[in-house]
Amino acid sequence: MKFTRLLFLLFLLPTSCVHAQETTDWQQLLSTILTIDDAEAEDWQENFELWEDLSQHPIDLNSATREDLERISFLTDKQIEDILSYVYQYGPMRSLGELAMIESIDMNMRRLLQCFVCIDEQAKSQRLRLSDIAKYGKHDLTLSAQIPFYERQGDKNGYLGYPYRHSFRYKFNYGNKLKIGLTGSQDAGEPFFAGRNSKGYDFYSFYASLADMGRLKKIIVGRYRASFGMGLVMNSDLAFGKLMTLSSLGRRRNAIHEHSSRSEANYMQGIAATVEAIRNTTISAFASYRYIDATLTPDDNNSIRTILTSGYHRTESEMRRHNNAKESIAGMNITYMNNGWQLGATAIYNSFSMPLKPDTRQRYRQWNAAGKDFWNIGIDYGYRNYMFSFQGETATGSEGAIATVNRLTVEPTSHVSLVALQRFYSYKYVALHARSFSENGKVQNESGLYAGAEWRPLKGLNISGYADFAYFAWPRFQADRESNAYDAILQTTYQRKHWTLFARYSIKNREKNNEQKTGLTNDLTQRIRFSATFRNNIFSIRSQFDGAANKYKESGKGWMWSEHFAWQALRKIRLSVSAAYFKTDNFASRLYCYEPGLLYQMSFPAFYGKGFHLSTHIKADISRNLMIIGKLTVTDYLDRDHISSGLERIDKSSKTDLYLQLNWRF
């Protein structure tokens, strides 16, 4: 531990004293609409990478179309319409400060929006000429590595590779017209240029896309994602949490986009295109063929027991499951939009190289996808005007079951927003690539009602909250009969000059099996958060208190105090330091907090037990085109002599990680 503390202090030394302008931290701002369920969800890393990419390649407001602004997922329909109307009525913006003239965009939203948009006075119409592509195209190369200062059991015996995690990400952009990308990633413990990874990285992702070519809106070759309607048939894109649904008022968009993430799940591989067939009507078609990881049935190895999405290939058993099955996908969407009305249809067909055969000995798995071929079709519909919008989708599939979700939003004034959402997903409904609003994590076995409101009574003051009730007609994991759940959140943010005050209370209850498994009992968790942030052009400091209390088979509570400090130095160096003390009774009362991370990597660590966490983060702009980021984290537990279990077990009470990243633009 002495060595890690010395290393931590040495890591702080490069920061000498001085002043520079403030750098807005969009990740910290985004944390106000992020809950612990979001931070721990697998697809939130994918969401985070999309936002990071947008922050690195912001949208020019003066040339932005509705489709461009819809990429910013937390904007509402009204805010998008107001931005477009402002530019149309008053001409090109001269600075982002003009966003203050748009009444529907308050101070907090304006600060967040400024991280993803820009004003490019030099912007010109782009033509696809080789000379212009070579001259004006922009290259972006990012190299990342994680170095642990500890040894896990698997590093001694079990893992096939070394303990370091590393990746690269290359992108070429010619405006929004042409994009090319290649990503390679390696998880700790996976072999590199060895064994079955003879080609180097464990995972590669490639794409090339063209956009805005007359009637051809977009075409992608390689790996991509797609989302249509409300996600009941096809959505490998964003999956909104409940606070994000409130912030964006549940807005969704039809889109295909490149898969540049290191995530090895929820993407397709092949070709996808969107064309404007006739005025106001677009047609999207996609085809995919890819290998997938799967656990095969132990009796014959000729059927799939479970589809795996973790992407880990560290051990012999994980390597045997690598690319041992294949999936084919074909689908189409047609959408008509005119004068606020929208009508669309989506169809998809899935086929596997061997049939899915889930283990149905447990009742909650009885209606898991089974068979070799699947299809789904859905109709989506909607209407929007300046004050309210309605959107919904109803779908069916191979099993003949129904799923439907419908959303209504009303904005009676610029200070009040209301949203209501109803969903019904039959327990027999199966859609392998569906992701939509849900409590259960998938579009199956759930019905419920969600209502939320946001009120901005004063300049700088925002009060918001929601309540959601869900009913599960069929048994689910840890509930052997029909059950229900509810949760609610109330939060407020007040910003004045350099100060931001934030408070949140949440309550969540799920019915689960009691200890004897003879009936159901409540699993009730309550959480609170208070924070105060001071920010000026030189530094920012945030103090935050988190608390949690859980009551299920046993009661548990916990609290955490954290301090976050950020400081601009020498104009080209930004230092951030985070420190936290946490004390919780069990995992159910765990707590999390935001801390700065590397580009394209979400950093919202969760803690339970008793201990300290320290983190220091340095970002240095070596030149206009070269940036280096370093981050060192130390977590020291006071209530245990080892961390984790199995192959991930560390035989000491502390762990230290060093993260390094280089970003070169040329």
Q: What is the pLDDT of residues 115-129, one digit of tens each?
A: 888 887 655 555 678
Q: What is the pLDDT of residues 336-346, one digit of tens each?
A: 999 889 999 99
How far apart are alpha carbons 240 and 390 in whole angstroms? 17
Q: What is the pLDDT of residues 187-207, one digit of tens each?
A: 999 999 988 788 889 999 999
Name the token pair of 177: 């017209």
Beta bridge partners of 589: none
User: What SS3 class is residue 445?
Assistant: coil
Whether 295 shows a pLDDT value over 90: the answer reads: yes
- Cβ atoms 509, 523 nearer than 8 A: yes
Name the token pair of 105: 């965009």
Q: What is the pLDDT of residues 324-337, one digit of tens each?
A: 999 999 999 999 99
- 256-265, 314-323, 430-439, 635-644: range with lowest mean pLDDT: 256-265
Q: What is the mean pLDDT of the chain?
A: 87
CB count within 10 Å of CB 509 equals: 17
pLDDT tier at 384, thresholds 50, 70, 90 = confident
DSSP state of 300: T
Q: What is the pLDDT of residues 406-455, one digit of tens each?
A: 999 998 887 898 999 999 999 999 999 999 989 988 899 999 999 999 99
Name the token pair of 654: 């502390």
Confidence at residue 143, expressed as pLDDT on a 0 to 100 scale: 96
How far apart are alpha carbons 330 and 448 in whole angstroms? 31
Its pTM stands at 0.86
User: What SS3 class is residue 128?
Assistant: coil
How far apart are alpha carbons 187 and 154 in whole angstroms? 13
pLDDT tier at 530, thresholds 50, 70, 90 = very high
Counting residues of the chain whose pLDDT is more than 90, the rounded percentage is 58
How far apart are alpha carbons 208 and 222 in whole angstroms? 6
Confidence at residue 239, expressed as pLDDT on a 0 to 100 scale: 62
The mean pLDDT of 309-319, rounded to a whole number, is 91
